[in-house]
Chain A
Amino acid sequence: MTRARAAPTGRPITALVVLGAVAALFLALPLVGLLLEAPLSDLPRLLTSAPVTSAFELSLVASLSATALSLLLGLPLAWLLARTEFPGKALVRALTTLPLVLPPVVGGVALLLVLGRTGLVGHLLDSWFGITLFGTTPAVVIAETFVAMPFLVITVEGGLRSLDERYEEAAATLGAGRWMTLRRVTLPLIGPALAAGAVLAWARALGEFGATIAFAGNLPGVTQTIPLAVYIQLQTQVGGAIALSLVLVVVSLIVLIALRRRWWPAA
């Protein structure tokens, strides 16, 4: 302990350098490999082929819808968790953030058991309204929202907690109603957290695989999002799988760059 404190800087410990380098290579090499293996000359053709463009369009529509739904429902939930007290709050918080760590395919199975055609709620949807979700794009949006919304909730709740409540109190003192305060003071102040939460939720929705294939099925143009198309193409057309993977790598890079100040404020 004291030895470590004696040399806080200077020559780094060799073992840490070696293990750290192994970690960096381990994380970076697969991505480099993906780039090296990419059929660059064939890329334009692969990226404009029918299954790829339909997966791309579907992924965009579904992930943006899931983000919108996460905002619509997740923002109020984040506010309730940050600003109110109610019985069972700890349980509610635990349950609503569980999908963060839950394997997505388990989420898909759980959704199936509740919203599937014979599920608790699903059979009512079917018998009362004739609505079945399996094999439809709304099912994709539901699956993606399930795994993505917790990212928004947890980020926005954090933003609300770190917000100085005196601003809101001042607005109230100056005669602003609760809605006015929320719209003109609170929301603008948590803007960065909201944006970060929405981007994280969107990225998570875009990459969703397990819950989607379990709950929504796999059909080109309807439920076959980019990750599903990657998996299917891997069976026969590895080039197509690589091309689609590259698209997701580029999107992930953009997200990382957009959020870098949030994660590494000092750097």
Chain B
Amino acid sequence: MKTRIVGALALSTLVGLAACSGGGDSKGPAATKLTVFAASSLTPAFTELGHRYEQSHPGTIVSFNFLSSSDLAAQIEQGAPAAAFASADEDNMQRIEDAGLTDGAPQVFAHNELEILVPPGNPQHIETLADLADPSLVVSLCNSECPAGKYAAQALHKAGVTVKPDSEEIDVKSVSTRIETGEADAGIGYSSDVVAAGGKLAGVQIPQRDNVTATYPLAVLKDAPPAAAGFSRLVLSPAGQRVLERFGFLPK
């Protein structure tokens, strides 16, 4: 009896798997699935743009993979099923272009500026990049592979400051998290991160001469469904730009 139950379970699992792989065209109008790989700093803005796209295109489901652009580029190179890629820098987009994985030229859709991220009220009174060199501070930066880490290194270099971070995060979102959870006293992230944190973080401006402007290109990838180009148009449209601006990004 027991073996029969086990057999039935195994069979139903196999049937279930087969049903899953059958795709969504079994009932009703075909649902289009659009998977966008986007830099982690884009999380709130693109989530909102995804909802808008879904609303104006019933039947399309937009899902995102938010990670550091270098992580995403590596995944796309390995054949991850992405329809579009939004990078926080041009290097990682170049990587994907060089690999021949883009469909058409990438388009810049936003910019972002660096800020020093601190807890609300700035308890350690951090005012400049030079203040981050204080070894008693716990400083969290992005690792040098991810764009925010690379930009931060450039800004620190311009300011002539050497900072020894206490942790190198895998993406810029994690820098915010370290400060929000109280583990780190300060970090370097984007202006958009301060907006995204909604009061759980404060930003300290970095003067223009030391600051680095991040450039965000977006590309539709090879073999993407038509919805990818549609989403790209939304991001570049005035409405899309307004959403990005609301989340702390600078226009294209």
Contact = CB atoms under 8 A, between A and B. Distances in A.
Interface residues of B, number: 23
Contact of A220 (B68, B140, B168, B184): B168
B182 A217 contact: no
Given A112-B181, A232-B145, A218 B168 contact: yes
B183 A219 contact: no
Interface of B is mostly: loop
B74 interface: yes
A136 B166 CA distance: 8
Contacts, number: 67
Interface string B175-194: 00010011110000000000
A116 B181 contact: yes
What range describes how many residues of A lie at the interface?
A: 20 to 34
B167 A236 contact: no
A117 interface: yes
A118 B70 CA distance: 31
B181 A236 contact: no
27 contacts: A112-B181, A112-B183, A116-B182, A116-B183, A117-B183, A118-B183, A132-B183, A134-B138, A134-B167, A134-B183, A135-B140, A135-B167, A135-B183, A136-B166, A213-B170, A217-B166, A217-B169, A218-B143, A219-B166, A222-B166, A232-B143, A232-B145, A235-B68, A235-B71, A235-B74, A236-B70, A236-B74
Given A112-B183, A218-B167, A218-B168, 13 more contacts: A112-B181, A117-B138, A132-B183, A135-B166, A135-B183, A217-B140, A217-B169, A218-B170, A219-B166, A232-B170, A235-B145, A235-B146, A236-B70
